[in-house]
Amino acid sequence: MKRLFYTIMTLICLVTTANADIYDDCDNAISANNTDKVKKLSATIQELDQIPVANLIAARLCVSAAIGEPLVYVKKTKSFIPLAEFEAKSTLKSDLMSTIAVVEKRAACVDARSFKINDELEAISKQFEQRNEQLIFDDTHQACTKLYSSDKSAAMLNQNCIAAFQRMGHPNLVFSEAELRATFIAELSGLVTLRASLKEELMEAKAKLLEAEGVVTEEDFNQQLADDLEAKSCAEFGYEGVYLD
């Protein structure tokens, strides 16, 4: 078993050494302007199953010299292709990747815009229903209040009047908490405004902290925020005010 192992290792070393000699021989043939030998060695190199990374440059030089134009070795296909073709493919690949990135972002923006429109349509539908319902209840409440003042029994036995009174209040109802409710609503509105102000103040404090620690300047921090916001913006596709999560 050991003898077999050493035999295999010896063969590998011999093949490696032979391949290394090919590159050296080709380099020498190029220097000696021996075109026939360069072509012969180039053909041998192109038939190799693999080319070590350390010998890639030498292999390229040899095959390029034999063909008469710059070539590039493509590991995936184990073949040499013209440099111009390689650069064209690289440019095409880069262009396609850019196109894919733009299309993917636009698709995401379309989804985001669609979600926003659906939300707006839902809100509009709810507003329509609420306003329509409110108008009906307003007129019903007004009519029932008038009826209540003249015929209490008729008003209280009318289901439409009952529904209007339940929703909008009995004609004789005195809601003493109305003023307190208004106060709470005003305070809540103030708290929402304060929260927005505190959020902005917190961002400024974080920026100054980073600047004090020497991590980044306040301008850099603000610029990064602006850049991030711009990167997530769908304005380039005509969707103003729509941002990706």
Confirm whether 82 is domain-assigned.
no
Tens digit of each residue's pLDDT (9 = 90 or more) over 62-80: 999 989 999 989 888 888 9
- Per-residue pLDDT, 174: 61
Confirm whether 109 is domain-assigned.
no
Amino acid at 176: S
> Which sign, positive or negative, has the C-alpha torsion 24, 27, 29, 34?
positive
* Spatial distance between the Cα atoms of 11 and 172, rounded to a whole number of angstroms: 108
Confirm whether 125 is domain-assigned.
no
- φ and ψ at residue 115, rounded to 5 degrees: -60, -40
Tens digit of each residue's pLDDT (9 = 90 or more) over 198-218: 877 777 777 777 766 666 676
Confirm whether 205 is domain-assigned.
yes
Confirm whether 80 is domain-assigned.
no
Going by C-beta distance under 8 Å and a sequence separation of 6 or more, which residues neighbour residue 199? none
Give the structural domain span for 227.
Answer: 201-245
User: Mean pLDDT throughout 94-115?
Assistant: 82
Confirm whether 226 is domain-assigned.
yes
**pLDDT(183) > 80:** no
Residue at a domain's end among 68, 93, 117: 68
Tens digit of each residue's pLDDT (9 = 90 or more) over 35-71: 899 899 989 999 998 888 889 899 999 999 989 999 9
pTM: 0.44
**pLDDT(109) > 80:** yes
- Name the percent of the chain lying above pLDDT 70: 84
* Spatial distance between the Cα atoms of 153 and 97, rounded to a whole number of angstroms: 78
**pLDDT(83) > 80:** yes
* Cβ contact 112:234 at 8 Å: yes
Q: Cα 172 to the chain's mean position, in Å?
A: 59
Residue at a domain's end among 39, 68, 97: 68
Question: How buried is 228 (Cβ within 10 angstroms: 0-12 exposed, 13-18 middle, 19+ buried)?
Answer: exposed
- Per-residue pLDDT, 242: 77
More confident residue, 153 or 201: 153
The domain total for the chain is 2
Going by C-beta distance under 8 Å and a sequence separation of 6 or more, which residues neighbour residue 34? none
Confirm whether 186 is domain-assigned.
no
Residue at a domain's end among 41, 68, 95: 68
Confirm whether 222 is domain-assigned.
yes
Tokens of 193: 């405004």
- Per-residue pLDDT, 40: 92
User: Mean pLDDT throughout 148-169?
Assistant: 82
